[in-house]
Structure formats: C-alpha cells, structure tokens
Structure 1
Amino acid sequence: MHFYIKNMVCNRCKTAVQNEFEKIGVHPIAVELGEVETAEEITQQHLSELENSLKHIGFELIDDKKSRLIEQIKTEIIRLVHHSEEIENTNLSTILSDKLRYEYNYLSNLFSEVEGTTIEKYFISQRIEKVKELLVYDELSLSEIANQLGYSSTAYLSSQFKKITGLTPTFYKSLKETKRRNIDEL
C-alpha cells in the first residue's frame, strides 16, 4: 500500500514518519521523501491514528491526485537542490517531466494554481536556502557554491541572492558571526 505524505524534506523526516507507522504496528517496506510503502493494509482506525500522529509532528497524509503531484514536484526539487552533489545542467522542466511523466505545462499550471507561485520561483527559493546553508558552513567559496548549484556564474548567483534576500552573499556570510554567541558570553 502506498501513502503520500506532505512536508517530508530530509532524512530525519523519513525517520520520524517511519516511527509513527511503527507506533501503530505497521512496518514500512520503504520510506522515501514524501512516500511510504507498506506490505500490509491499514484499518480505518489505524489510518485515523496515523493521520493524527503525523499532523502532530508536522506531516500530513495526502489523498487526492493533484496534491500528491504537487508534493512530488516539491520533493523532486528538494532532492535535486538539497540531496544531490551537483545540480545537473539539464533544464528543470525536462527533469520534472521525465521524473513525473507529465507534460511540464500541466505541472507548471497545476503548481501555480495550487501554490500561488511558479515552479521556477519555488526552485529559486530552494537554491537560495541551500546557498545560505553553504555560506554558513564556510567550506566552499562562492564560485564553488555557484558551480555546485548549477549557476552560470558567481555574479548571477550574487545577483539572485541579493534580489531574494536583500543582502549580498558576503554580507550574509558575515552575519553568521553575530548570530550566535558562546554560552559564557551571555
């Protein structure tokens, strides 16, 4: 049996969701971002318990086709941006169309209608969040970050970063020192 779950974005999410299934006595065969597969059927009572426990920790079962497709689009973008070593230079529309087996125009129109933003804007916001994360880690130069995230140039990354956040990447990176203080300085 397949279950589609909203808001799963990382490995901790997968673990948390798996734990909730196991609490009701169901042991998943596979747990992926946004999706759980079980061998056994779930009773209506267990399903109700599962829905409540998932909501309590920030997740939601998805039962209609359009919502599942929207969540699959988000999951693919999150996987591409946050869980890949390097973003492919392939067009996002091609990646999504190939992976989800729908025409990109349909995916784009559906996403915009339901989410109130475009797939491209969602993709950009995910990339900017990844840039922020990498800037705070301070392990890669800005040009290495641009390359890893599929930007055509460092200047383009900087321009897009400033447009979205209102800050330059360099200034954002300098803020990390002022965000946290040692406990003995409090």
Structure 2
Amino acid sequence: MLVTDKLQQLGLNYFTVDLGQINVLENITDQQLEQLKAELFKSGLELMDDKRAIIIEKVKNVIIDLIHHTEELPKSKFSVFLSEKLDYDYTYLANLFSQTEGITIQQFILNHKIERIKELILYNELSLSEISHRLNYSSAAALSNQFKKITGLTPSFYKQLKEKRQKNLEHI
C-alpha cells in the first residue's frame, strides 16, 4: 500500500491508515511531517493537517459518494444525513463549508445533482421520472425546472444537443 510504504520509509509507527486519515502512535517532528508531505505529493497525494480542511473534504466526499455512487438517495434530509454520518452539528458544518468554499453545502449538493442528472440523461437508461425519483425530486417537472434554472436548458434539449454532437463526430 502506497501510504503505509511511505510511513514505513520515514520510520513512523501508525495504528490505522484509512481513506483520508492516518493515526500515528507518536508525535511527528516537523522534518518528518515535511518529508511525508513531499513523498505523498510525489505520488499525487496531499497531506492535510488542518482539521477544518479535513472536515470539509469529508463533507465533499460524503456528498459526492452519495450522489454519484448510490442507486437511490436516502429519504432523510441531507442536513440530517450529513450530521449523522460525520457526527457534527449541521449548522457547524454548513458555516465551516460556506466560509471555506464560498458556496453553501446546498449549492454544492445541487451542483453535483445537476452533474449526475446530465450523466444519467446521457446514459439514456432511465426516464426523466426514474431519474427524478432516484435523486429525490418530487416529480420529473420539478427536476426539469431546476435543471433549466441552473443550466439554461431543458433536459430534453440537453439530450438533443449531445445526440447532435455525437452524430457530427461520427461524420468526421
């Protein structure tokens, strides 16, 4: 494993290495920390030692995983889901997120839902009603209205644009 190899090379004793988190047994010197950062950076990884940045990254990962890699979103509100999943008060998470990212958690969720809708439209495996159900919209019309508000296009026009592009590419 890449991260554990780097820790062993630097002589750091650890007791857990989990996605996005390392628990080390002893205090790390500034020199060891800088070496670890440099080694991880060479491998395309980043060491985040700012607790606020770590929380923000966890919020983003939970949202992205939920929207892009789950068959159906939970019926509970995102605020309740995030609070329970990350074991933090939602108001704290929301304030921290907007201060750090410059957008609200809700806007981040909406942006990812729109991207997911685009993907599902292009896959052409689900109807708009099925997509709206999967992403917890009250109806296909509600999904269409929000999609148009954000992208400026209706879902059907978006799909037609992609189909036209594909046809044009096939003729080249």
* TM-score normalised to structure 1 length: 0.75
CA distance in 1, matches of 2:75, 2:126: 20
CA distance in 1, matches of 2:125, 2:25: 45
User: For 1:61, what is the secondary structure of its paired residue?
Assistant: coil
Partner residue, 1:78: 64
Letter in 2 for 1:80: L
2:37 touches 2:47 (CA, 8 Å); kept in 1?
no
CA distance in 2, matches of 1:46, 1:104: 32
| Aligned-pair CA distance for 1:61 | 2.4
Partner residue, 2:43: 53
Letter in 2 for 1:89: K
> Could you report, residue by residue, the CA deviation over 1:9-43 in whole angstroms, capped at 9, with x for unpaired residues?
xxxxxxxxx66x478586xx7664xx255889995
Q: Name the Cα RMSD after superposition.
A: 2.7
Q: Is 1:113 the equivalent of 2:103?
A: no
| Aligned-pair CA distance for 1:112 | 0.7
| Aligned-pair CA distance for 1:51 | 2.0
Letter in 1 for 2:97: F
- In the alignment, structure 1 segments of 5+ residues that lack a partner are 1-17
User: For 1:150, what is the secondary structure of its paired residue?
Assistant: coil
2:132 touches 2:139 (CA, 8 Å); kept in 1?
yes
User: For 1:62, what is the secondary structure of its paired residue?
Assistant: coil
* TM-score normalised to structure 2 length: 0.81
CA distance in 1, matches of 2:50, 2:114: 30
Structure number with greater Rg is: 2
Task: Give identity over the alignment, percent.
Answer: 47
Note closer, same or farther for the CA distance 1:46–1:114 as it changes in structure 2 (3 Å cut). Answer: closer
- In the alignment, structure 2 segments of 5+ residues that lack a partner are 9-15
Letter in 2 for 1:51: F
2:97 touches 2:104 (CA, 8 Å); kept in 1?
yes
Partner residue, 1:132: 118
> Could you report, residue by residue, the CA deviation over 1:120-166 in whole angstroms, capped at 9, with x for unpaired residues?
01001100100000000000000000001111111110011001101
Q: How does 1:25-174 map to 2 (within 5 A)?
A: 32=19, 35=20, 43-44=32-33, 45-54=35-44, 59-174=45-160
| Aligned-pair CA distance for 1:47 | 3.6
Partner residue, 1:4: none
| Higher RCO (CA < 8 A, seq sep 6+) | 1
